[in-house]
Structure 1
Amino acid sequence: MTKPWKQIINAAVGLRQDLHRIPELNWSEVQTSARIRKELTRAEISWRPIARTGTIAVLAKGASGRSIALRTDIDALPLEEETGVAWVSKTHGCMHACGHDGHTATLIAAALWLKQQEMHLPGPVTLIFQPAEEGGHGALRMIEEGSIDSVDAIYGWHNWPALPFGQAVCPDGSVMAGNGTFRITVTGKGGHASQPEMCRDPVAAASAIVLTLQQIVSRRLPPQQAVVVSVTSFVAPSAETVTPSQAVLAGNIRIADNEMRDIVNNLITQIATDTAPAWGVKADVEIFPRYGATVNDPDEAERFRQILCREFGEEWENRSIAIPVMASEDFHSRLSRHDTGRSGLHGKCLFSRGCRGANGICSPPSL
């Protein structure tokens, strides 16, 4: 049955709110996947499970034109929701704080409209509902299971509350940063605080390491490089009168250029291991790579910029936000498909669309 576009949008808003009530962490998106599959089945769109809790569907399979894919992510974050909205999360300690409920509802809306136009589609359209974007490497699992084997180009989007509704960013090259984490364990010699000369204080040494790490961005790298090094945790539990034997630092890096990853990680390791001996302690550094930078294909980005201009007008592009955004996305896995040894994917594009209304609240039409 053909539905007016406005009816599809209204249904998608309701779906987004329903999904917001039942957030699930990565690789646990059981209820979410069930709802997605129910909506696809109701629309008479064939689907199949992939990557455990993921779902994939293809429209116009027999069409001869260019094959494109539209991708969304479906998992939530381990946060307690305090918004007070009517559709607040019912799951303790879990919230759709990154907007994946809106992403998912948007792709369902697109699926419903495309299904109505299926006979007129020039080429196949693959709909990808990806689990485990939040650190779970869900994109890589879906690629390994063949989600884009027959796809020529893939598009994704991310809502961005910092941008006004009706504006977007869709640059050539890097659009979102790569990331990684690190842990530095500083081991010294504990003892009574009244006898510091008998101790080898890991707290003082770790503090020195924290301060020196700030020099990576300000003194060791060119100012033209977009890099973030943040120490986000400092743990050294002890009694007030006792110097502990160990302190553990942890933090996060962001890089706009994937080639900077090894440089930054090597500097973290060098600073920690070189600073420690001056304090009579030892530093052990662990590096945990996560996602690479999301780098748009210039041809696909230009193609989509033209679409954004037609949809939102000449003022569609927001020029006030710094690009790349230093948040991270595992869409980069799809943009790096040639690294997997597969072939055939020619284009890829991720854009960020504004969803902030005039009152500073995300606008309902943007889901």
Structure 2
Amino acid sequence: MDSSFIEEIAPQLIKWRRTLHALPELGFMEYITTYRIGKELEKMGFQLYIGKDALEENSRLGLPAQADLEAHEKKAREWGVEESWLDQMRGGNTGLVAVWNTGRNGDHVGFRFDIDALPINESADSGHHPAKNEFASKEENVMHACGHDGHTAIGLGVAQYISSRSDHLQGRFTLLFQPAEEGGRGARAMTDKGWLDDVDYLYSGHIGIQSLPVGTIAATTPGFLASTKYNAYFKGVSSHAGINPELGKNALLAATTAANNLYGIPRHHDGVTRVNVGKLAAGSGRNIIPGDSYMEIEVRGGTPEIAEYMAEKATRIIQAAADMHDVSCTIEAVGVTEVVVCDEELIPKITEWCATSELVKEVQPSVPVSGSEDVSFIMNRVQKHGGKATFMLFGTKLDYPHHHPQFDFEEEALLVAVDAYIHILNGGSAI
């Protein structure tokens, strides 16, 4: 195997990561990010599918408000995104798919890399690595606080290897640069487009999640939960709190009643359950009965049945709280993920293939995780059609948890991840 590739590409991997980190974009608004990825892949010679060619428009969930989309499209145009690209992405059709066919018989191997950021204001603390090295987010309240900037850089590194070493590979490669992973909103749109229906092997992964030494990777990750994300809108009647309180219908009380009772959902004997009220907004002044309120919640379960149980209980409680306070309520599902089950048959293969890597020091068969992952739709579709799929971890020290204003990872993890994928490529598809 050509061991010089990682040494050659290492500075570029870090540059890609830092460039992406400095200009993060939220889900379905990754116009500049998609453009940057695409222009790199164009130079490598990949066949690109952008916008509605990459995803099923009507399968997207939790789409940003039209005004936000238009504002970000305007910003992307001013930044320099070509009009032909904007035309394809307009309306939140971000992300892209890159395909490489060697022309030689072999497996169809897929990779998935998520590209979106989070609504978090990044720390400016001088001890924070991105701030110290001047690549912290330049966007207020938007940050790559989960490592997706690193995942995207890894994807470009894998693409560069496929392009430059294609003569030594066989089969076909499909790389999905997926929008809107956060909140479980984007994977189904790519899945419904049919990209995974004939994939033989699908690999995806995450930097961190568990704090592990750089050089340690996990071949599989049991524990991801099925989840549903909801927005709830309560509509009451405003009134003067002192003169005519009896004429008001308090939407704030409806929302807080729902929030308190959501945490009282009985746990399930068959497995893990989770519920969280992440946002609540209501009211306009101390002497005004709140006529409107808004709440963002999520529920999770360790099996599809438990997830359905949690969803049914949550929606019933929200509606009951609205009825109790005589206000109307609209409940909108804005994100969903499924249970993830990695194919354990890949553990000995990944272990064997990575045994000759100088960067991968240890392959752990499995590392348990929690939370949820949008990749579930992609993996489950591959498995449904007879393929194998896994979700890996790439070790890094974590001084702060994911989704924290000071989240960061050790950039050496980028090299380890690309090297691991290269060894997998050569183990499964080399001539």
Classify the TM-score, shorter chain. 0.7 to 0.9
343-352 vs 198-207, which deviates more? Answer: 198-207
Question: Which one of the candidate residues 152, 158, 176 is aligned to 1:128?
Answer: 176
Aligned length: 354
Give 1:290's aligned residue.
Answer: 335
Give the C-alpha shift of residue 247 in structure 1.
4.4
Tell me which moved more, 134-143 or 346-355. 134-143
* Matched residue, 2:389: 348
Q: Deviations over 1:15-49 (max 9, x none)?
A: 11122223233334333333323333444x33212
1:363 matched to 2:410: yes
Q: Is the 8 A contact 1:60 1:123 kept in 2?
A: yes
Rounded to whole Å, the distance in 1 between the matches of 2:219 and 2:20 is 27
**Structure 2 equivalent of residue 15 of structure 1:** 16
Q: Which residue of 1 aligns with 2:215?
A: 166
- 1:222-301 equivalences under 5 Å are 222-275=268-321, 281-282=326-327, 284-299=329-344, 301=346
Equivalent residue letter for 1:47: Q
1:231/1:184 CA distance change after superposition, 3 Å: farther
For normalisation by structure 2, the TM-score amounts to 0.69
Quote the Cα distance in structure 2 between the aligned partners of 1:94 and 1:238. 26
Q: How does 1:65-214 map to 2 (within 5 A)?
A: 65-83=106-124, 84=131, 85-135=133-183, 137-160=185-208, 162-164=210-212, 165-171=214-220, 174-175=223-224, 177-183=226-232, 185=234, 187=236, 190-193=239-242, 202-214=251-263
The one-letter code of the counterpart of 1:57 is A
Alignment partner, residue 66 of structure 2: none
Q: Per the alignment, in what secondary structure is the counterpart of residue 181 of structure 2?
A: coil
CA distance, structure 2, for counterparts of residue 308 and residue 294 of structure 1? 27
Q: Percent identity?
A: 27
Residues 234-255 of structure 1: CA distance to partner in whole angstroms, max 9, x if unpaired? 3331433444345444322233
Whole-angstrom CA distance in 1 between matches of 2:294 and 2:235: 6
- Give the TM-score, by structure 1 length: 0.79
C-alpha distance in 2 between matches for 1:7 and 1:119: 19
Paired letter, 2:379? L
Deviation digits for residues 306-329 of structure 1 (CA, Å, limit 9, x no counterpart): 35873545574675xxx4421x33
- What is the match of residue 380 of structure 2? 336
Distance 1:296 1:91, change over 3 A: same
CA distance in 2, matches of 1:143, 1:356: 32
Give the secondary structure class of the aligned counterpart of 1:259. Answer: helix
- Long gaps (5+) in structure 1: none
Distance 2:224 2:348 in 1: 16
Q: 1:253 to 1:308 in 2, by over 3 A?
A: farther
Q: Could you tell me how far 1:303 is from its partner in structure 2? A: 4.8
Tell me the amino acid that sits aligned with residue 144 of structure 2: H
Structure 1 residue 288 displacement after superposition: 0.8
Distance 1:358 1:183 in 2: 35
Determine if contact 2:231/2:294 at 8 Å carries over to the other structure.
Answer: no
Q: CA deviation at 1:365?
A: 0.8
> Mind listing any 5+ residue stretches in structure 2 that lack a counterpart?
55-88, 125-130, 401-406, 415-431
Seen in structure 2, the aligned counterparts of structure 1 residues 75 and 210 have a Cα distance that, compared at 3 Å, is: closer
Q: Is the 8 A contact 2:221 2:391 kept in 1?
A: no
After superposition, the Cα gap between the structure-2 partners of 1:65 and 1:184, relative to the gap in structure 1 and judged at 3 Å, is same
- Taking a change above 3 Å as real, the CA distance of residues 239 and 86 of structure 1, as seen in their structure-2 partners, is closer
